[in-house]
Structure 1
Amino acid sequence: MRAPMLALASFLLGLTALAISGARADDTSSTRYSAWQGGASNPQLQAFAAKLKSMVDEADKAKAADPLFIQDLRDLIASASAPAAPAAPAAQPTVRLFYDSFQDGNYTSNPTWKVTAGVWTVDVLGNNTGLKSTIIPPGQTSNQNIKLNDVLGALLQPQSSQTSTNATYASIYTGAKISNVFKIRLDVVSKEKFGRLDFGPYQGAGGGTAYRVTYFPGGNPSLALQRVTPQGTSAIGSYAQPLVLEGDKVHAVEFLRDGAGVMTVSVDGKALITVTDTTITKPFDGFLIINSGGRYAIRAVTIDGTG
């Protein structure tokens, strides 16, 4: 009986030592528990598990305990020593949800876009083909540092005062079911070094909930990411370095959001903004483009999601 009793005593002493070491975090904290570091990466717990395994082996050899109890202890040791299972990868967009290259010469069908302000046309001739919009307010020849929050939600209802060539902005949208995980690509040509271009997915009949990518030609920041909710518009990411998209070259502006809420805005394959935001969790109802200063040709709009 002496060996089993000594083993039991050692086992209890080991548990006591472990409890004391775990309680040290409580000496200077009002919370009972500290952050879990994981069994596989905790040297103290690993040493304890090794000692306990040695004791169990000795008890098993001496037939000092019920075999079922011994096996339960072995299973417990194995579970404590096993490395944590790797986290499941965040969902990625893999399904084509929407595409329009405007090669049919119109935006009124297949798919259908609706203009709510300004003038939009489709040109299939020349170098700058695609969906086109021009907004040049009188006297504007350079960037006027348009504030990030000047263009807010509720742009999906036609603005009677904004449907002429004298409009201060032009907006167009298309209804499309877009998952909360998405990859949006805009192939765009910019011709003026002032103003701004916004695009992104929206929710609801008024577009009052949305994410928007904003390009400021010649501005600082030159690129921004906004979150639009009924509480207002917030800048959640920006790129302060110079970004020049003007000329005849087509540039690919991509906006990716994965299942963990990590969002990346890239230009021509280079990631310029990366931020995590999980405020908006539901799928989107459409896609909106706003030109509030400049001359743009949208060659194609591509949206992938999770179906």
Structure 2
Amino acid sequence: MDNSSHAPRGLRKALLASAVSAALITGSLLLPAADAQAENAVPTYQPWTGTTQGKATQKLIADLKAKIAQAEKDQAASPDFLDDLKKTLNEYEAATMVSQAQPFLDNFSDGEFTTNATWKVTAGQWQVDKSGSNRGLVSKIRQQANLNNLLGNLLNPQGTQQQGTGAQYAAIYTKAKLPGAFTASTKFTSKDRYGGLQLSLYQGASAQNQYRVAYQPGNNQGLMLQKVTANGATTLGAYNGAINLEDGGAHELTMTRDANGKMTVLLDGQLAINASDTSLKGDLDGILITNVGGSYWLREVSVKPLQ
């Protein structure tokens, strides 16, 4: 007698979650018993090692979905049970599926920025400084008017003057397939108490869509978290207070976003901004750094999937 449709729904879901978790470890859910117990059977799945783990997980989930669909067609199980099983499997897939995006790290220790990773300058001047306490990818721009509303199209070269010493801002980017749920950070040294530094993860060939965190020395909003689209920049959150990091030391600015769109900004490991946004979907296409006035040494830029 099938009692699965009469069990309390909460208990049934808990049992289903356990069943799916066990299946994802053993690869045995809904497999015929004879196949599972055959002593001389050739293994269907290879050991999950290194970069093969994501592919094995995707294959297993696809197989489970196919078996659930067949069970529905054959009316081989309670419809409520199959509905709960599909929901549990979808939730697991959304939470744990390995993205095709890759982690990114560049500390400029090789003394250049044009290969491994390949950064491209679109405005101002950038160079790697390996000497003294101020080291890293350096950019210097004289104090300008408020340029915090810079929008997309920053990946296109801005003309001879913009790439020279008279540039109003400095911009540099690198293409990289990055996860939509991420931890992005830069370790930097700041010298001038004006202007600002912006770290953006972008989508699109011209960085039309971005998530951007901005450090603004001398401003009464020392940090801002923004979403940038074709319609303009929207402030998702801000730290209302002056922040001055021009003490000669290195500082770390971190922006995170989880799979549910919850976002944070941390400065030197301390929470500064909480926000939420789900409007940008899928993976991201690269990293954009913009200097809107000041002298900055970027010691490290990193992006990794948010666990």
The two structures share one fold, judged by TM-score above 0.5: yes
**2: distance between equivalents of 1:93 and 1:224?**
30
1:93 and 1:183 in contact (8 A); partners too = no
Partner of residue 174, structure 1: 174
Equivalent residue for 2:103, pick from 80, 97, 101: 97
Structure 1 residues 108 and 193: alpha-carbon distance in aligned structure 2, compared to 1, 3 A threshold: same
Q: Secondary structure at the match of 1:163?
A: coil
Please give the per-residue CA displacement for 1:214-265, whole angstroms capped at 9, x wherever unaligned. Answer: 1100212110011011222111111112222112111111111111111111
Please give the per-residue CA displacement for 1:77-114, whole angstroms capped at 9, x wherever unaligned. Answer: x4157497598795699986111111111111111100
Q: Does 1:79 align with 2:78?
A: no
**2: distance between equivalents of 1:306 and 1:97?**
10
**2: distance between equivalents of 1:93 and 1:243?**
37
Q: Secondary structure at the match of 1:162?
A: coil
Unmatched 5+ stretches in structure 1: 1-67
Q: How does 1:5-154 map to 2 (within 5 A)?
A: 76=6, 78-79=7-8, 82=11, 97-137=103-143, 146=146, 148-149=148-149, 151-154=150-153
Q: Secondary structure at the match of 1:281?
A: coil
Q: Secondary structure at the match of 2:8?
A: helix
**2: distance between equivalents of 1:92 and 1:119?**
40
Partner of residue 87, structure 2: none
1:131 and 1:298 in contact (8 A); partners too = yes
Structure 1 residues 194 and 295: alpha-carbon distance in aligned structure 2, compared to 1, 3 A threshold: same
Partner of residue 57, structure 1: none
Q: CA RMSD in A?
A: 2.7
Unmatched 5+ stretches in structure 2: 18-90
Partner of residue 159, structure 1: 158
Q: How does 1:210-249 map to 2 (within 5 A)?
A: 210-249=210-249
Q: In percent, how many aligned pairs have the same letter?
A: 40
Please give the per-residue CA displacement for 1:122-156, whole angstroms capped at 9, x wherever unaligned. Answer: 0111111000001114xx7xxx6x2642x111100
Partner of residue 58, structure 1: none
Paired residue type of 1:176 = A
**1: distance between equivalents of 2:249 and 2:270?**
16
**2: distance between equivalents of 1:80 and 1:152?**
49
Partner of residue 276, structure 1: 276
Partner of residue 11, structure 1: none
- Size of the aligned set, in residue pairs, is 229
**2: distance between equivalents of 1:75 and 1:205?**
51
1:91 and 1:258 in contact (8 A); partners too = no
1:92 and 1:305 in contact (8 A); partners too = no
Structure 1 residues 174 and 234: alpha-carbon distance in aligned structure 2, compared to 1, 3 A threshold: same
TM-score, L = length of structure 2: 0.68
Structure 1 residues 173 and 93: alpha-carbon distance in aligned structure 2, compared to 1, 3 A threshold: farther
TM-score, L = length of structure 1: 0.68
**2: distance between equivalents of 1:302 and 1:153?**
22
Please give the per-residue CA displacement for 1:136-189, whole angstroms capped at 9, x wherever unaligned. Answer: 14xx7xxx6x2642x111100001130110111000000111011111110011
Paired residue type of 2:245 = L
Please give the per-residue CA displacement for 1:33-89, whole angstroms capped at 9, x wherever unaligned. Answer: xxxxxxxxxxxxxxxxxxxxxxxxxxxxxxxxxxx7xx96x964x415749759879
Q: Does 1:258 align with 2:258?
A: yes
**1: distance between equivalents of 2:9 and 2:112?**
64
